[in-house]
Amino acid sequence: MSSAAEQEAVREPGTAAGSRAVRGRPPVVWPGAPTPLGARFRVGPDGVAGTNFALWAGGSDSVELCLFDEDGTERRCALTELTHEIRHGFVPGVRPGQRYGYRVHGRWDPWTGARWNPAKLLLDPYARAVDGTFTLPPEVYGHVRDWPEQHVADTVRDERDSAPYVPKGVVVHDDDDWAEDHRPKTPWADSVIYELHVRGFTERHPGIPEELRGTYAGLAHPAAVGHLLRLGVTAVELLPVHQFAHEDHLLRRGLRNYWGYNSIGYFAPHADYSASGTAGGQVGEFKRMVRALHDAGIEVILDVVYNHTAEAGELGPMLSLRGIDNRGYYRLQPDARRYADYTGCGNTLHVVQPHVLRLITDSLRYWVTEMGVDGFRFDLAAALARSMHDVDMLSPFLAVIAQDPVLRRVKLIAEPWDVGSGGYQVGAFPPLWTEWNDRYRDAVRDFWRGALPDVRDLGYRLTGSSDLYAWGGRRPYASVNFVTAHDGFTLRDLVSYEQKHNEANGEGNRDGTNDNRAWNCGAEGESEDPAVNALRRRQLRNLLTTLLLSTGVPMLVAGDEMGRTQGGNNNAYCQDNETGWLDWSLLEQPGWRALTELTARLLRLRRTHPVLRRRAFFSGLPQAADGLRDLAWFTPRGTEMTEGDWYAPAATVGLFLSGRDIPGRDTRGEQITDDSFLAILHAGHRPVGFRLPGPPWAQSYELVLDTSREDQTAAPGTVHPGDATLTVPPRSVLLLRVEE
């Protein structure tokens, strides 16, 4: 650090009173190298240790690297070397822990999309750690945010220095000791995904030390991992952990972005989830979390947001990409001043541009090869698949992923829609991809609330959605089945509320979907009526059982297995509080503890029986000499369903799954066989008689599960088809195993 005598105190134009920007002596800069992008500590020429800085800044006039000492002193130096539009330089003596940012010089001409403003300190898009939190005062906007004429405010450049108000990137030490053999490598067909929020899952867990709650270290703690193991899930899908910023409209209302779908640093673990400080320690902490989960056999999937950034529309802040090359990083409308918005968040990354595509794929490879993650769920993936305007399954993004030797071998999940024209693409993504299947969600919700006009759609959804995915070599596990997700009601709220109750979000209850497909069981919200609460718990058992018996990859949402509620809030994106966090005290209540135990039992059943996690679609054709088919559907009369039955209103359906001849072979090349099962789903409000199919389907059945029971520990019984018709309780699922 320079001495006081060597420092030159400079009051930057427009700097707020009390935050003097102190300029130190410029550091020595050697030419360095244009690759890799970002800040990489290494040994340079003549064995001198330092950091190489490289920034793609196409179209800019010049770039200044800004280094910040502990006391806030800023030292600037020009990166004069230019290689293929990459500004680069090697700074001797700069070591891990150094905070830094960039100032990029160029034209200010919003009418042509040019928005360079060197008064704004910019976060390196390749920063691997971020120190600080974005608070979005007026100084961090490239334009004068509070200009009286708001319709032209984005065209008036703000000359105030933003450095005192924005987080800085942090140089980190490369760690190349990641061991590939730690990865569980769970096959898709055997996977069970558990969607969770790092803070929300750990913040109130009584078994996690207070100083670790809400952090990566908290999720790595044995108390957290133990719950995942007891349930039997194979993968956690983490809500966004890339560095993100809070939106201005939330900060003005005293709220924060909780979910994290507002990314600004695609290489940096979100600093607020670190128990190790924010000077680079968050990187190692994240890696240790991944290793702990891998040691338990649990994969780590990241929910990633590459479709837009936290810089929003033309009235948004200038944090990184906008100030580096606005026209290069974002899709602009024909007038170039405004942004094309296929995401509903103000901007859309211009993925067709090679440097943007490189940013995304470099980020993905980094999280796989250096951070150890096992896959990704892509938020609004249709926006990434757009070529110039339309969604294109031959788009550069999908083509690059398909041929990349690192990315094509990890788990890839698409949220197969965006908010633009033609953005709904469920079933359209190419082989290699799996998809969130919202048609599964809608059909199952509608069936259990009595709103399906017939059972045709339900039949497809329960058996892997072959109408959507049986093409191009895709398999049933292309369908990620879910009834709830982070976005919408929790499972308990789905059976307790019919209307959203989002008043706490401060948007007049206008936010969040109105299409909830929910049934409150006769009373809106929490109830003291024992009959209402018993019915709700039964509906929860029905929904969970349906999900975990369906063909495809099931996804559970953290807390649904223990009756978590958000009080009817179906858009808790800004509720970083008890509304969004898991309430672990629910496990102390017998009713909710029983639901957790049922979930674990269903997952054990799924894990034990390959007929419930098939790797190929059912054919519906005879698979054996006795003419038994691999899949058959039955009416309560005990007869197979006809075409007319599929088109008629129905509240009851029987699904026979044959385990005699399952396609595929085990690791030793042996044919896979299993028990056969009959599942009866009855959504009616009265009991129904169901005549069980006799030979050749079965000689007798063992009752394995009955969701009408609060207590599932009762001894199962044997039922013979020749006996009296089986009475199916109202609103229940019965699972029967064939006894040979």
% of the chain beyond a pLDDT of 70: 94
Examine the residue annotation and report whether 529 is marked as an active-site residue of this protein.
Answer: no
- Report the half-sphere exposure of 693 (CA within 13 A, side-chain side): 26
Cα separations (Å) of 33 from 51, 54, 90, 171, 582?
10, 7, 7, 16, 47
Confidence of residue 9 (pLDDT cuts 50, 70, 90): very low
Res 580: pLDDT? 98
The reported pTM is 0.95
The per-residue pLDDT for range 279-330, each reduced to its tens digit, is: 999 999 999 999 999 999 999 999 999 999 999 999 999 999 999 999 999 9
Q: What is the DSSP string of 609-662?
A: -GGGS-SS----SB-STT--BSEEEE-TTSSBP-HHHHHS--SEEEEEE--SSE
User: Alpha-carbon distance 551 to 612, whole Å?
Assistant: 6
Res 3: pLDDT? 37
CB 91 within 8 A of CB 29: yes
Residue 324 DSSP SS3: helix
pLDDT above 50 for 675: yes
Helices 590-608 & 530-549, crossing angle to 10 degrees? 20
Res 10: pLDDT? 35
Chain centre distance of CA 510? 24
User: Alpha-carbon distance 449 to 443, whole Å?
Assistant: 10
Confidence of residue 178 (pLDDT cuts 50, 70, 90): low
Res 322: pLDDT? 98
Q: Smallest Cα–Cα separation from 440: which of 448, 367, 46, 422?
A: 448
Confidence of residue 624 (pLDDT cuts 50, 70, 90): low
pLDDT above 60 for 209: yes
Alpha helices for 66-179 (secondary structure H): none
Confidence of residue 669 (pLDDT cuts 50, 70, 90): confident
Res 267: pLDDT? 98
Q: Given the residues 12, 415, 435, 560, select the one marked as catalytic.
A: 415
Res 37: pLDDT? 98
Res 620: pLDDT? 84
Res 702: pLDDT? 93
The per-residue pLDDT for range 20-30, each reduced to its tens digit, is: 456 778 889 99
Res 80: pLDDT? 96
Q: Smallest Cα–Cα separation from 270: which of 165, 133, 381?
A: 133
CB 77 within 8 A of CB 51: no
Res 177: pLDDT? 58
Compute the mean pLDDT over every residue in the chain, rounded to the nearest whole number: 93
Q: Smallest Cα–Cα separation from 53: which of 67, 72, 69?
A: 67
Examine the residue annotation and report whether 415 is marked as an active-site residue of this protein.
Answer: yes
Residues 6 or more apart in contact with residue 598 via CB below 8 angstroms: 541, 544, 545, 712
pLDDT above 90 for 94: yes
Res 364: pLDDT? 98
User: Alpha-carbon distance 454 to 449, whole Å?
Assistant: 13
User: Alpha-carbon distance 572 to 482, whole Å?
Assistant: 18
Res 11: pLDDT? 36
Confidence of residue 2 (pLDDT cuts 50, 70, 90): very low
Dihedral (CA of 670, 675, 676, 680) sign: negative
Confidence of residue 1 (pLDDT cuts 50, 70, 90): very low
Cα separations (Å) of 306 from 45, 70, 356, 362?
36, 32, 10, 12
- Mean pLDDT calculated for residue range 249-276: 97
User: Alpha-carbon distance 302 to 216, whole Å?
Assistant: 13
User: Alpha-carbon distance 544 to 204, whole Å?
Assistant: 24
pLDDT above 80 for 334: yes
pLDDT above 50 for 6: no
- Mean pLDDT calculated for residue range 235-247: 98
pLDDT above 50 for 530: yes
The first and second tokens of residue 316, run together, are 């948004």
Q: Given the residues 124, 285, 303, 379, select the one marked as catalytic.
A: 379
Confidence of residue 181 (pLDDT cuts 50, 70, 90): low
Secondary structure string (H, E, C) spanning 327-361: HHHECECCCCCCECCCCCCCCCECCCCHHHHHHHH
